[in-house]
């Protein structure tokens, strides 16, 4: 694993919502790799809802879920410090509060509190909207399933003149995953602005040295990004977008998009600038 550069808040932990589901466990392993690259602790939080019929049983189940994930991470060989917490309240509210002292919140695309096709991914979608830090909604295949032959980090750009934050994050994540970079821009592929974006990515890559090479592709951003994801869901990829584009974020974290990406390696990273 090639370390990526640290975040703008390098000492803040990465928080993972744990609910006993396989989706949360896979999100924890995704987050652990991020924590290793940032050299920060990993904080696993399990929320016991206040209206549980038997709080003692729910607390014991939460402790068991946390212990199971922590033991699996320790057995994996990943050199990460793991902290665990059991908190009480509404899962969305608790994780939103935890985001105030986190560098990143990571969630599985579906949880135990999501039921029915219309609600799949609803908790993750609400946390993405309420959090004060960046949020990753993780889709990850089971460890026994082979990933696709291609690795892409997709950066969805808006029309801001200096998109350094999202481009730098794309470089960090592409380096971490040994992936290529696809930038989706509001401009035609051969336009001056698109060529500028390509040059900036290659410049940032050049700062990493001769071993940081990666394929760079710049394409026009489609009107509906979910159509692109639906057509390329078999490609191992990470999609990065800015949190201040509410219409786009709503598309990316909508439960219908989660259903499209089910069983893929296509996770969503929503960047939020604390400043």
Residue 238 near residue 269 (C-beta atoms within 8 A): yes
Q: Which residues contact 128 (CB under 8 A, 6 or more apart)?
A: 135, 137, 243, 249, 253, 270
Domain boundaries, the chain: 14-138, 151-265
SS3 labels along 20-76 = CCHHHHHHHHHHHHHHHHHCCCEEEEEEECCCCCCHHHHHHHHHHHHHHHHHHHHHH
Residue 160 has pLDDT above 60, yes or no: yes
What whole-number percentage of the chain has pLDDT above 90? Answer: 53
Instruction: Pull the structure tokens for residue 131.
Output: 């959090």
Average pLDDT, the chain: 85
User: What does the pLDDT look like over 203-250, one tens digit per residue?
Assistant: 877 766 555 556 889 999 998 888 888 777 666 779 999 998 888 998
Instruction: Pull the structure tokens for residue 189.
Output: 């592929």
pLDDT given at position 116: 42
Q: Which residues pair with 106 in a beta bridge?
A: 16, 136
pLDDT given at position 110: 84
- Does domain 14-138 fall under CATH 1.20.1600.10? My reply is no
Could you give the 3-state DSSP secondary structure of residue 183? strand
Residue 3 has pLDDT above 50, yes or no: no
Please provide the CATH number assigned to the domain covering 151-265.
3.40.50
Q: Which residues contact 115 (CB under 8 A, 6 or more apart)?
A: none
Handedness of CA 112, 239, 133, 43 (dihedral sign): positive
User: Which residue, among 135, 228, 207, 215, has the nearest Cα to 174 in the 3D structure?
Assistant: 215
Own/partner long-range contacts of 225-232 (Cβ < 8 Å, ≥24 apart): 225/156, 225/184, 225/251, 225/252, 226/251, 226/252, 226/254, 226/256, 226/257, 226/260, 228/184, 229/257, 229/260, 229/261, 229/266, 230/260
State how far the Cα of 113 lies from the Cα of 85, in Å rounded to an integer. 19
User: What does the pLDDT look like over 57-105, one tens digit per residue?
Assistant: 999 999 999 999 999 999 999 999 999 999 999 999 999 999 999 999 9
74 alpha carbon, distance to own chain's centre: 21
User: Which residue, among 84, 94, 238, has the nearest Cα to 155 in the 3D structure?
Assistant: 238
Q: What confidence category does residue 117 fall into, taking pLDDT thresholds of 50, 70 and 90?
A: very low
Instruction: Pull the structure tokens for residue 121.
Output: 């991914």
pLDDT given at position 60: 96
């Amino acid at each position: 694993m090639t370390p990526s550069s640290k975040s703008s808040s390098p000492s803040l932990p990465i928080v993972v919502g744990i609910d006993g589901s396989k989706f949360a466990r896979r999100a924890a392993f995704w987050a652990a790799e991020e924590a290793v690259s940032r050299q920060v602790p990993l904080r696993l939080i399990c929320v016991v809802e206040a209206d549980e019929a038997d709080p003692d049983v729910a607390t014991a189940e939460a402790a068991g879920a946390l212990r199971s994930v922590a033991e699996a991470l320790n057995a994996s060989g990943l050199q990460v410090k793991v902290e665990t917490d059991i908190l009480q309240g509404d899962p969305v509210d608790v994780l939103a509060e935890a985001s105030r002292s986190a560098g990143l919140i990571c969630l599985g695309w579906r949880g135990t509190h999501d039921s029915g096709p219309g609600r799949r991914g609803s908790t993750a979608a609400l946390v993405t909207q309420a959090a004060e830090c960046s949020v990753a909604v993780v889709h990850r295949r089971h460890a026994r399933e082979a990933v696709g032959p291609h690795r892409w980090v997709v950066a969805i750009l808006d029309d801001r003149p200096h998109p350094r934050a999202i481009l730098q994050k794309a470089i960090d994540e592409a380096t971490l995953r040994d992936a290529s970079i696809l930038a989706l821009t509001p401009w035609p592929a051969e336009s001056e602005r698109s060529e500028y974006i390509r040059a900036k990515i290659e410049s940032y890559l050049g700062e990493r040295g001769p071993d940081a090479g990666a394929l760079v592709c710049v394409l026009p951003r489609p009107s509906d990004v979910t159509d692109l994801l639906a057509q390329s869901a078999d490609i191992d990829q990470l999609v990065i977008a800015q949190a201040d584009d509410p219409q786009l974020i709503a598309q990316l974290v909508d439960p219908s998009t989660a259903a499209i990406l089910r069983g893929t390696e296509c996770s969503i990273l929503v960047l939020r600038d604390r400043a």
